[in-house]
Homo-oligomer: A and B are copies of this chain.
Amino acid sequence: MEVVFTFDVKDYQKRDLQTKFPQVMFHFNKKPQDAEVETATVIVTYGGDIDAALLERTAVLEWLMIASAGVEKMPLAEIAERGIRMTNVRGIHKVPMAESVLAHILALRRSLPLIYERQQVKEWNRKVGSTELRGSTALILGPGAIGSEIGRLLQAFGVRTIGCNRSGKKCESMDEVIIFDDLLDRLGEADYVISVLPSTPETKEMLLEEHFKAMKETVVFMNFGRGDLVKESVLLNALKNDEIGHAVLDVFETEPLPQENEFWTLPNCTVSPHVSSLSGKYVERALVIFESNLERWLQGVKALENIVDGGKGY
């Protein structure tokens, strides 16, 4: 059986895999056009290199292991048609993403951008306008594994957390959970509106002009989910008209964010180049999940962990 990685891993990780699974032939760092793809039973990929043309060239592909969370850009219909199973690395983003969210919030509250700027010009100025996180309210769109971890940390800082999902079902580390339909009515309570929603037909352009008008003028809006949650023109207007206080964006309609995009230069917008989930421990954790699934696979167990439902999109 052959397993093709479309990215590279460290040498010790290769040795580890080969030692643990001597019956498997591993190929690392292969391009979609490489011949090894044609005989692969398993492809391990970040997802962006899988398209219908590649699937055409595979002969015995049974399992796509996606080392990321979102699958909305994958050829889901073709994958389903061919009966190819998909798994992802759900859960491994929660630590780095929650740390990123807290880093950005705390940096803004404790005036770090200003402190950094003034250091560059050697300006000692104690007027920084710092405030506190404690005592504020956060509304988390998508309180799943990542959202709950964000909520847990926010609660440690004395922040009230409101989760918002489709069902209104209780979630960990949320003081309260509301349904999507009640969002507009409750947005005005939040000092932070944080989205970690995946891209699905339901979440696409879910936030409209009226939502930003309903937010506090001082709110920090954070999109760490997917760029199509809100039309960029809508968000740009809200920022330019000071309808909201600040935006921290890790995801965009078009990535890389084009040079001419106004987000780059707005003083009340932080552009993060889709890095909130990155971590020195990322591949290590992805391999733990993969190895556990590969073991099941080789034993003939069909119930893999982190199965992705192509229909739902997550």
Contacts and interface: CB of A to CB of B under 8 A. Distances in A.
Interface string A118-134: 11001011101111111
A264 interface: yes
A33 interface: no
A: interface residue count bin: 35 or more
Contacts of A126: 273-275, 278
Interface stretch (A65-73, A107-115, A234-242, A290-298): A107-115
A152 B155 CA distance: 12
A156 B125 CA distance: 32
Contact of A132 (B95, B112, B128, B157): B95
Contact of A116 (B113, B124, B133, B281): B113
Interface in A95-115: 95-96, 99-100, 102-104, 106-107, 109-113, 115
A132 B99 contact: yes
A201 interface: no
B280 A119 contact: no
A248 to B, nearest CB: 10
A274 B274 CA distance: 33
B259 A115 contact: no
Contact of A157 (B118, B133, B153): B153
Contacts of A113: 116
Nearest to A158: B95
A270 B14 CA distance: 39
A157 B132 CA distance: 18
A268 interface: no
A273 B124 contact: yes
A76 interface: no
Interface in A208-244: none
A272 interface: yes
B131 A279 contact: yes
A184 interface: no
In this complex, the member of A124, A126, A129 whose beta carbon has the largest number of chain B beta carbons within 10 angstroms is: A124
A99 to B, nearest CB: 6
A96 B257 CA distance: 35
B275 A124 contact: no
Interface string A22-52: 0000000000000000000000000000000
11 contacts: A99-B134, A99-B157, A102-B106, A103-B103, A103-B107, A106-B106, A112-B112, A115-B271, A124-B273, A132-B281, A152-B156
